C-alpha cells in the first residue's frame, strides 16, 4: 500500500509539473522565439553554449590552551575544518549539464582524545534536456564517500526522471526533480547492498545581496524493498569581511540502515529516528575561481 501511494504521488507530481510547464511555456513562447532570433543573428555558433564555474574554499580553526596549574574543569582543545566546493555548469539553448564536487574534512583534538568531526566526499552530475521552459528530463550520477577510511563505504546512485524549475530569477531559484533510481553501497563492515527505488531532490538558492546567501538541498530516496532515506542540508553564508565568512548550518538526516531490523516497520523509525545537527562557524574563505 505504501509503495502504491508513493508511486501515485510521483505520477501526480509529474503530471502537475507537466501541466504547469506547458501553461508557462505557452505564455513565454514569444519571448523564447525573440531570444532565439536575437542569439542567431548576433552570436556566432561557438557562443551558443557557455560554461559557468565557481570554486570556494573555507577553513575554520579554533583552539584553547590552559596552564598546568589551571584549577577549572576546562582542558586543552583544538579543532579545525576545511571545506572545498567546486561547480561547473554548461548552459546551451536546449541542454544543461551541472556538476558539483564537495570535499569536507575536520578534526577535533582534546587532551586525551582525538576524533574526526567532519568527513565527506560528494560528487554529483546532472544532465537535463529542455522540453519546455520549466520542464526538463534529466539523467544523474551521484557518489558519496569519505576520507578517513578512503572509499569505504561508498555509495553510487544512477537516476533518470523529470526536473521542474518552479521559479528562477536573479534573486532565488527553486528546482525539484523526481525519477527512478538505482543505488549501490559498497561497505566492508556492514556488507554490500543493491537497491532500486525512486528519488526526489529539492534545490533552493537565495541570494540576499553580495554579502549573504542561503542554500538548501533535500535528497529523498525510497527503496522499493526497505524504506526511505533523507538528508536535508541548509546553509546560510554571511560575508563578514574581504576574507572571512560566517556559516550557519542545519542538517536533518535519516538513514534506515541505522535502525535495525530490516525490513523496517515505519512506526518504529520514521520520524522518531531523524537525526539533526546545528552548527555555526567563522572562518577564512575565498573564491578560487568564478566566471
Which has more confidence, 18 or 94? 94
For 220-251, write each residue's pLDDT tens digit.
Answer: 998 887 777 889 999 998 888 778 888 889 99
Pick the range with the lowest mean pLDDT from 54-68, 112-126, 177-191.
Answer: 54-68
Pick the range with the lowest mean pLDDT from 55-64, 168-177, 193-202, 210-219.
Answer: 55-64
Average of per-residue pLDDT across 258-267: 44
The CA radius of gyration of the chain, in Å to the nearest whole number, is 22
Query: How many residues does this entry show for the chain?
Result: 291
Pick the range with the lowest mean pLDDT from 95-109, 125-139, 243-257.
Answer: 243-257
**Burial (CB count <10 Å: 0-12, 13-18, 19+), residue 238:** middle
Topology at the third CATH level for domain 2-39+51-64+76-290? Outer membrane phospholipase (ompla); Chain C (2.40.230)
Contacts of 23 (CB under 8 A, 6+ apart): none
Write down the domain spans for the chain.
2-39+51-64+76-290
Average of per-residue pLDDT across 118-135: 89
Rounded mean pLDDT of the chain?
78
Angle at 151 between CA 150 and CA 154, to 5 degrees: 145
Cα–Cα nearest to 142, from 76, 199, 90, 68 = 199
Amino acid at each position: 500500500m505504501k509503495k502504491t501511494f508513493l508511486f501515485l504521488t510521483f505520477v501526480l507530481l509529474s503530471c502537475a509539473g507537466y501541466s504547469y510547464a506547458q501553461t508557462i511555456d505557452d505564455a513565454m513562447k514569444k519571448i523564447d522565439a525573440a531570444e532565439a532570433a536575437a542569439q542567431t543573428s548576433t552570436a556566432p555558433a561557438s557562443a551558443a553554449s557557455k560554461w559557468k564555474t565557481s570554486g570556494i574554499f573555507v577553513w575554520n580553526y579554533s583552539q584553547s590552551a590552559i596552564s598546568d596549574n589551571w584549577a577549572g574543569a576546562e582542558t586543552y582543545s583544538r579543532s579545525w575544518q576545511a571545506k572545498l566546493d567546486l561547480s561547473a555548469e554548461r548552459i546551451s539553448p536546449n541542454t544543461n549539464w551541472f556538476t558539483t564536487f564537495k570535499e569536507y574534512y575536520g578534526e577535533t583534538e582534546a587532551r586525551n582524545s582525538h576524533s574526526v568531526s567532519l568527513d565527506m566526499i560528494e560528487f554529483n552530475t546532472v544532465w537535463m534536456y529542455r522540453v519546455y521552459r520549466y520542464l526538463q528530463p534529466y539523467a544523474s550520477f551521484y557518489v558519496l564517500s569519505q576520507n578517513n577510511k578512503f572509499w569505504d563505504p561508498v555509495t553510487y546512485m544512477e537516476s533518470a526522471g523529470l526536473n521542474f524549475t518552479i521559479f528562477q530569477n536573479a534573486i532565488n531559484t527553486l528546482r525539484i526533480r523526481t525519477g527512478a533510481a538505482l543505488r549501490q553501497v559498497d561497505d566492508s563492515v556492514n556488507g554490500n547492498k543493491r537497491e532500486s527505488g525512486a528519488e526526489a531532490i529539492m534545490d533552493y538558492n537565495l541570494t540576499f545581496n553580495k554579502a549573504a546567501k542561503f542554500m538548501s538541498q533535500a535528497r529523498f530516496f525510497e527503496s522499493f524493498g526497505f524504506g526511505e532515506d533523507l538528508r536535508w542540508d541548509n546553509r546560510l553564508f554571511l560575508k563578514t569581511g574581504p576574507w572571512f565568512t560566517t556559516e550557519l548550518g542545519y542538517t536533518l538526516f535519516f538513514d534506515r540502515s541505522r535502525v535495525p531490523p530490516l525490513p523496517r516497520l515505519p512506526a518504529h523509525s520514521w520520524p522518531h529516528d531523524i537525526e539533526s545537527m546545528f552548527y555555526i562557524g567563522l572562518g577564512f574563505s575565498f573564491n578560487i575561481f568564478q566566471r
